[in-house]
Each structure stands twice: as structure tokens, then as C-alpha cells.
Structure 1
Amino acid sequence: MNGHDAPKTLTHLFRSQSRTAPALIIPTEPAVTVSHADLHDHIGQLQGELAKLGIQHGSAVSIALPNCLELIGVFLAVTWQRGIAAPLNPGYKQDEVEFYIGDLGSDLLVIPQGAFEKGGPAVKAARTYEAAIAECYWNGKKIVLDVKDCGKLGSRDSQDVLEAEEDDVGLVLHTSGTTGRPKAVPLTHANLLASIESICRTYELSPNDRTLLVMPLFHVHGLLASFLSPLYSGGSAVVPSRLEPSFWQVFAQHKANWYTATPSMHRLILQFPPPDPLPKIRFIRSCSSQLAPALFHKLEEAFKAPVLESYAMTEAAHLMCSNPLPPGKHYPGTVGPAQGVELRILDADGKEVQQGGVGEVCIRGASVTKGYLNNEEANKSSFTKDRFFQTGDQGKVDEDGYLTLTGRLKEMINKGGEKISPVEIDNVISQHEAVAEAVSFAIDDEAYGQEVGCAVKVAEGQSLDSRELKKWVGEKLAAHKVPKKIWFPDEIPKTATGKVQRKLVAEKMAKS
């Protein structure tokens, strides 16, 4: 069974069974091109290997791979086997990987070829929780899963090859919380397919479309918009390992016609050698943090294509709002009307505000998670009585239904689309022997929209400088979480009642 009447699971992602039409192009030398039917076969073969290894319904598989064919194959094979795919940033340090593997009780960690012998942070973290470890690589004919350590799967029997169901959790991504403990967002196959269908409908994706995938695939933006939706539409994706200055050369060479990225990535792309002649670009999409109107205009002027700003969250399996394609109107400074979800603007009492009024952006729909894993407190505070998810963002809707975001209710730091918990940074910096108190906060940044700032009170009798502390933090946290600027006030500013307000601290530091 295939097509529109098929169950809403990733097992039925492939509506094209072509042996000739590309699904993925890996722009190596020489390039690797995989058709829809061949990719389907590779995933089926991997699913069989995972079943023999003992992966079963509910098994979590942590995937610490860069963007590559192998990541895509393993991700889908895990979900087909009714497992939970949990992509990880390969740049995470050991403590971070340990948290994510421990939080999900992962049965298996998948790493690149050669990584096991090096014994890096992910390998050490997996051993802490006795997760099995497998290297994964493309040998020119198939995706190889090379088990290096059976871990806890050593005592588990081989499993049958399973058929995914709509209510199975297929993906878990962690999103940072204001408590500092990242929240696990479970997304079912039905959630994912609802978002995929909405993305394909919004951008009119078809077998004629090809995207250049530059978003990391440990991010919901990359997974849903850049990878799953193009495959579902019968189209294709060009998948380099990272964003590089050869972006436009690769874009033109492989005949891509659209891409999606964060504003910080768009700024880099504007600096890359421009294509000559300019390829025909159907649209450029911007998401994951707010796009400055000046950057919007620069992109449209440089690349002669409509720039469509959108609004998305992990909890909604990505897409919530987007500016439409022409002839629909698209504007700078707005994220467009709701797409695939019901949207309301609610006041502090949970009542819907009048059109044009400012309040909290709340959403409900088939793509929205049912709630965080093992976090009742967050679930109670994040959903209204009638199951609208409270995004923590402030906004207003105009007479045409276009949403404009006006600020954040939450204190998260949004660095180029990466959501960073200030409490997590506080907790790490506070462990330094020379630190008495630390408060982290967002500071404005031209490249990323926001960066990490921190105010640190040095312990009595100790000395500490910014360079030394940044190096120390860099050994504990991923590079994007290291503060860009650190202040050393004599006292951390507090309210009259002795409470720390990050906004107040940020304002005081900016003036100092």
C-alpha cells in the first residue's frame, strides 16, 4: 500500500518507487546518486540488521553522525523498526552525550567509521550506559552497520522485522528548558507525517524540486524541511556534509532550485562566491530565528528569488507558520499565516485577544507533540485546558492572518536557530572553583541574532579572566554554548526582593 491512503508512518514515506529519479545526491568526488527505490532498499536492509541486533518497539537509537547518506539510512531504518531515532550533535562533549543517552536509555549509539578506536566523547558516554556501539559507513554498494560493542544488546534475542504504527514515537529531540534540564520532545509518525504534508503543501514541493540540504540533521529544521519532505514529494536533496563556500557551485552543478536555512547561514551564503550565471531559484526559505528585514532584502536582491520567512518549533514537528509562495504576498518582518495548525493569541489569563492584540502564540494540530517525556511539570505549564501548546513567544496577527513575533516570554537564548538554556550554562560555569555566582543571558548579535552573554562574580580571594573561563567552559559544553562575552561585576544585579532577572542583568551589563 502506498500513496495518500497509506498509514501515516515513515515506512510509507516513499511515494516514488523510481529506479532512475534521484532521491539523494552526495556531492563527493565522484558524486553518489541514490534513487528513491534504491534508498528504500538500503533502508530495508538496515532495518533487518537492526532487528537482528535486537532493536525493537520503543528502542532508542542515538545517532552521532554528520550529514550524510548513512545518517539518513539509519534514521529511517530505526523508525521503520518501531524504534526511536535520536540524532545527536556530533560536537557534543561527553557529559552532554551521557545526558541524552541516559535520558532515553538508548540501546544503540551509531558513529562514523573509525570513531570507535579513537574513543571520543560519544563512545565513552555510550559505555557509561552500556549502550551498544556501531560504526556506520557507505562501502560503495550499501550502508554498512559494523557493530563494535554489543553492550546491553548482547543478551537480547534477534527481533522480527516490524511494521511502524502511526502512534509510535519515531523521533525524540531535546529542546532546552528554562529549568536548565533539556526537555525530551517525542514526535509520533502521525506528528511527523502531518508536518511533512503541510511543508509539501505550503511550498508546493513536487518531483521536479531539488533542495541543497545545509541544515544539520540533528535539528528538526533539517530533518523535516530539508530531508523528509523532499523525499515524500518525490523530489530530491543534495546532501553535503556541511555548509561550505562551494555552496553555489554545488547548487548549480546538481541543479538544485531551493534551499532552507537560518538567518546566520543566509549571511554566510551571501558572502560566498556568487553563481554566474545565477541559477533559477524557485524560493529561499528562512526559519529557526527571526530574519532581519535588511537581510531579507539583501537575499531577494542578490538571488532574484522570493524569500519566505517561516516559524517553527520542535514541539510542532517543525512548521507552524510561513509566508506563502507567489502570487501570495510575502513580507519582511512577519512569519506569515498558520500552516497546518490552529493558531491563537492568548492573554495571561488564557483568553483569546482581539485581532491585532499582542499575546502568547499558542498552537494546536496533528503535528503537535502530545507532551514532553517524563516531565509532568512542563506538560502542565505548556498546554492549555483545551490542548493548545503555549510556545512562550509573543506575537500579534494582522487582518490577513499574518503573524508577527514581538518577543520571547521565555528566557531561552536563540543563537542562529539553536536554542540554548541559560541555566545549563550557569550550572556549568558555577562549577569553576573561582566562580561565586554566574548568570547567563541573551545578547544581540549581528551574525546569529542572539549570542550568549554571562555575568560572573568571582569568588573572594580568587582571580579569573574571560579567556581562561571561555577555554574551561569549552571543555564542558559544545562550542556554540560558550559565552561570547563575559562580564565580571562586583555583584550580580538583583531585584528588590533579591531575585535574579536575566533581562535586568543583561541591561545592566550592556550599560557597564
Structure 2
Amino acid sequence: HSDTVIIYFACWKIGAAVAPQNVAEDDRRIAFILRNSEAVVCLVREEYLERAEAIIQGTDEGLGAANVRQILQVGGAKRPQYDRLQDLFTPQTGLDAPDETTLDDESLLVYTSGTTGAPKGVVLTQYNMLVDAYGISAAQGLTGNQRTMAVLPIHHVNGTIVTLITPLFIGGSTVLNRAYSSHHFWERIATEKVNMVSVVPTLLQFCCEYADEQASKGDSIFGPNVSRKDLSHFRHLTCGAGTLAVQLAKRFENQFGFKILHGYGLSETTCYSCFLPIELDWQTHQHWMQGYGYPSIGVPISTNEMAIFDASGNGQELGPGERGEICIRGHNVMKYYYQRPDANTEAFKFGWFRSGDEGFFEVDDKGRHFFFITGRLKELINRGGVKFSPFDIEEILLQIPGVKVGLAVAFENDYYGEEVGAYVVLQEGATLTEATILSYCREKMSFEKSPKVVVFGTEIPVTTTGKYQRLKLRDLFTQWKSVQFKK
């Protein structure tokens, strides 16, 4: 919402820090963030006032945030018990705020997903944000006469940094959306003359499904009011923040004819740390997107360095093709985790930020290091001491006709410590059986790596940025804990 943008910049103008909240989160997580961030003012849209009051004043376990001194209403009809933000501004008080801020001001406090524990508050400075905006714009060749579009929430760094701060940093403009809509996505790009949009893999999937629906009716894959010539100004999509499968990347690029600038980054690195080079010709681009089993996340942006270190944490840097932990250092790396000295010590060993992601790099004929992500280290499947990336298995699952989404899940097993399961969502009308899926996988992979059981479902647990939460699926496989699977 435009109010959110104004609030962000107003806070940064006076040197205050912003701790965005996602209203889709549960009340206890919101209460935790309010307490942990030591927020003193909570700005709330009119429709969420009662909920915010209950969270802040709540006495149930996990609720309550006594540090919040004031709730300010944003928008809507005036409620008598709250001060309304827009009523606080009059011509008498509308003077310029003193510009006492510095680049080192702590300006943005974003919280990690917290899928394996309490969320951690990532502290970003104005310098972090501006440096990353510079690196992103330079890597993508963005200039001041270009326009981006926000379809990702700006309570997350992707929406904030890529589609808000970056275009304004270079003198460009951005188009806000209240929510993503497949029906209006391409139409909005055409109407608003958008040049670039940042997405997550889930939205690419939605685009492809919508295109199939349109094609089945004999209509334009871009929507009933949009043709390809209406998109002549559009350059590319940036994609990150989730698992992009080779099959999905290939399907989207073949279907729509636009490049995906695949990239990678974390909240802890402000946002993006690398991208596929924009200047690659189509053949070379597809080589890096499809030729290694994983789409490449590209080369480091100019404001940070990247390397692969031994995942055991011994500080040994690895060479081309060797899998280890992706590590980053540079001007866009966060200041620290808020009130978490233990996490800071663990995250910043050997002078690099440890991402917790497994990956590797390959070198091109120009000496550039092209990086790849192969999975979260905590999500690797450890079967009898041999570790498998779920990404490898999921690429095979997605090749099976009729599979809409397939996730590889490590589940506890008495014989091997962990075994491999598959959680599958079928396409509408598909009638695949477990036996068919297991047979296909065993034709493509070793028995050890192949899923042993399949659980079918209709919903996928994801974070608000579209990342799959595989660990939340483990409990679906508990009945096979004591089973020894044999060839």
C-alpha cells in the first residue's frame, strides 16, 4: 500500500527503524517480533486495529507487547480510541524534519522465517540498502527511465529493496499492487509500461498454469486484452527467494520468451547477492539455466564477494564443482542479528557470513564464477551417512506427467537414520498412483536416492516469500519410521 511506502521513508528521514509485520502470520509470531524488536509505536491499518490491540494487550501465552506505547491508525474512518496518522499532519506542523540521519543508521529490522526455531531479527542500515540497490541496478542494467512493478509484499526485503528502493535509487519508478493476480499480471505490465518485475518461482508456476488455461480456450497466453506486441517494452523477470526447478524455468522461458534473471540472496545480505549476467546471449543463458541440473544463480554483484566453504565449518575454501556452504562478505551484509549474540558468533565465522545453504560454482571462459544452490544444509537428506539434496529428487518428480508439485522430504527411520519420502500435489485431472511415481524415480535415480513412499496432498506449506517448508511435512511420514525399505 502507498501508505506503507510513505511510512517507511518518513521513518528513515528522521533516523527511525522500521520492523515490518506480515498480517498473514500467526498472532504469537507477531507478538514475539513486537517484543523482540522493542517497538514503541505500531502503525496499523483500520481493518486490523482490533487484532493489533488484542496481540499487544493479550495475556494468553505468547501474546502481549508491553513495550508498544502507542497504536496509530492508518487509513479508514476515524476510531475515537486511536490517533489517526493523517490527522497528525497539518500546515502548522508540516515542516521538513531535520536531516540528522547517517548511512550507519539502523533502518530496517526484518525477521527470518524461523522454521527451525525463533525468528531472528536482521538489522540493516541505510548503507546496506543503498549499496544493495546500487549492486542490483548495475547487475541488471537498470536506468532512471525504466519502471519496475511490485508483486511481492514489501514487508519482505525482496519487495522493499528490489521493487521499491532500487528503482527510486536510480531515479526510476515503481508500480504497486495490493496482491498478485495471474489474470491482471501481464495486463498491468502492458498498461503501465513496466520494464522489469521481481517474482518468486511460485508466481512463475501460476503464470504457466494461467497461460495453459488461456491457450486451451484459444486466447492469448498473456490474457484476453494483451498480445505479445503490447509487451515490447518489457525486458526480463528477476527470480529468487525460493527453489527454482530447471523444468519450471525451461517451461516459462519457452512459453513466454522472456529471460529469467535467476539470482540469490538473503535478508542477511539485504537482498540479492548475485544474478545471471543480463548480457548473456540466449544460448549461453540457457546453458547456465539448464546445463547443470540446477539453474545457476549467477555471478556475484559488485558490492559483495561469494565463496564456497567446507560445510563442516572448518574454514576451508573449496574449488570449482565442490559442494559446500555458500558464504558471502561485502557491504550489503547485515550489521548483526538483533539481541542474538549466539547467532552472530555462529553466522560470522572466518570473516564471512555463513548462509546455511549448500552450493557450488563453475568457472566460465572469462574466469567468472557462476554459483549454484543445491539446498538448505538443514534440509539435506542424510540416509545412512550419505547426503542427498532434495532439489535433485524434485527435478525428477517434476518430470513426471501429471505432477504439479513434488517435494522430497527426509523422514526419521530406524534403519538409516533418515529415509526419502515424496510429497506430491497432482495436476487437475491427473490419476497417478504411488507405484507409478516410485517406478519412474527408480528408472532415473539409484534406489538409495529414490523416494520410498509417496504422500499425496493438495496444499504446500510455504513461507510468505514462496519458499517451500519441507520440514513441516516430516510428520506425514511417521508411520514408516520402523520400516526397512529394500530393493
Kindly indicate whether residue 359 of structure 2 is the aligned counterpart of residue 395 of structure 1.
yes
Shift of 1:356: 2.7
CA contact (8 A) 1:451 1:484 kept: no
Shift of 1:283: 1.0
Kindly indicate whether residue 241 of structure 2 is the aligned counterpart of residue 288 of structure 1.
yes
How many residue pairs align between the two structures? 370
Residue 129 of structure 1 is matched in structure 2 by 65
Shift of 1:262: 0.5
Kindly indicate whether residue 6 of structure 2 is the aligned counterpart of residue 73 of structure 1.
yes
CA contact (8 A) 1:262 1:288 kept: yes
Kindly indicate whether residue 300 of structure 2 is the aligned counterpart of residue 335 of structure 1.
no
User: Unpaired segments of 5 or more residues in structure 1?
Assistant: 1-67, 151-157, 414-440, 456-469, 494-507
- Distance in 2 (CA, whole Å) between partners of 1:219 and 1:85 is 12
Kindly indicate whether residue 376 of structure 2 is the aligned counterpart of residue 408 of structure 1.
yes
Shift of 1:149: 6.0
1:487 match: secondary structure = helix
Shift of 1:163: 2.5
Shift of 1:249: 1.5
Residue 308 of structure 2 is matched in structure 1 by 345
- Do the aligned partners of residues 71 and 353 (structure 1) sit closer, same or farther apart at CA in structure 2, a change above 3 Å counting? same
User: Unpaired segments of 5 or more residues in structure 2?
Assistant: 58-63, 85-92, 215-220, 290-294, 382-389, 399-403, 413-456
Residue 277 of structure 2 is matched in structure 1 by 324
- Distance in 1 (CA, whole Å) between partners of 2:47 and 2:173 is 29
Shift of 1:510: 11
**How much is the aligned-residue C-alpha RMSD, in angstroms?**
3.7
For normalisation by structure 2, the TM-score amounts to 0.68
Shift of 1:241: 0.2
Q: What aligned pairs does 1:180-259 form with structure 2 within 5 A after superposition?
A: 180-244=117-181, 245-259=183-197
1:113 to 23, 46, 52: 46
Residue 218 of structure 2 is matched in structure 1 by none
- Do the aligned partners of residues 381 and 390 (structure 1) sit closer, same or farther apart at CA in structure 2, a change above 3 Å counting? same
- Do the aligned partners of residues 182 and 146 (structure 1) sit closer, same or farther apart at CA in structure 2, a change above 3 Å counting? farther
1:246 match: secondary structure = helix
- Do the aligned partners of residues 166 and 450 (structure 1) sit closer, same or farther apart at CA in structure 2, a change above 3 Å counting? farther
Q: How big is each residue's C-alpha offset from its partner over 1:233-292, in whole Å with a ceiling of 9 and x where there is no partner?
A: 111111110101211111111111221100011111223353331212211111112321
- Do the aligned partners of residues 486 and 352 (structure 1) sit closer, same or farther apart at CA in structure 2, a change above 3 Å counting? closer
Which one-letter code corresponds to 2:297 in the other structure? V
1:410 match: secondary structure = helix
- Distance in 2 (CA, whole Å) between partners of 1:174 and 1:491 is 35
2:243 match: secondary structure = coil
Residue 8 of structure 1 is matched in structure 2 by none
Which one-letter code corresponds to 1:148 in the other structure? Y
Shift of 1:296: 1.4
Q: What aligned pairs does 1:378-389 form with structure 2 within 5 A after superposition?
A: 378-385=343-350, 387-389=351-353
Shift of 1:187: 0.5
For normalisation by structure 1, the TM-score amounts to 0.65
2:349 match: secondary structure = coil
- Do the aligned partners of residues 138 and 412 (structure 1) sit closer, same or farther apart at CA in structure 2, a change above 3 Å counting? farther
CA contact (8 A) 1:323 1:335 kept: yes
CA contact (8 A) 1:451 1:483 kept: no
1:85 match: secondary structure = coil
2:19 to 55, 77, 86: 86
- Distance in 2 (CA, whole Å) between partners of 1:454 and 1:352 is 31
CA contact (8 A) 1:92 1:478 kept: no
Q: How big is each residue's C-alpha offset from its partner over 1:403-461, in whole Å with a ceiling of 9 and x where there is no partner?
A: 01223213499xxxxxxxxxxxxxxxxxxxxxxxxxxx999696677599988xxxxxx
- Distance in 2 (CA, whole Å) between partners of 1:452 and 1:124 is 37
Which one-letter code corresponds to 2:325 in the other structure? E
Q: What aligned pairs does 1:457-476 form with structure 2 within 5 A after superposition?
A: none
- Distance in 2 (CA, whole Å) between partners of 1:257 and 1:147 is 44
- Distance in 2 (CA, whole Å) between partners of 1:377 and 1:214 is 35
- Do the aligned partners of residues 398 and 105 (structure 1) sit closer, same or farther apart at CA in structure 2, a change above 3 Å counting? same
- Do the aligned partners of residues 295 and 75 (structure 1) sit closer, same or farther apart at CA in structure 2, a change above 3 Å counting? same
Shift of 1:93: 2.2
Moved over 4 A (4+): 144-147, 158-162, 441-455, 477-486, 490-493, 508-511
Q: Which moved more, 1:271-280 or 1:287-296?
A: 271-280
- Do the aligned partners of residues 85 and 351 (structure 1) sit closer, same or farther apart at CA in structure 2, a change above 3 Å counting? same
Shift of 1:161: 4.3
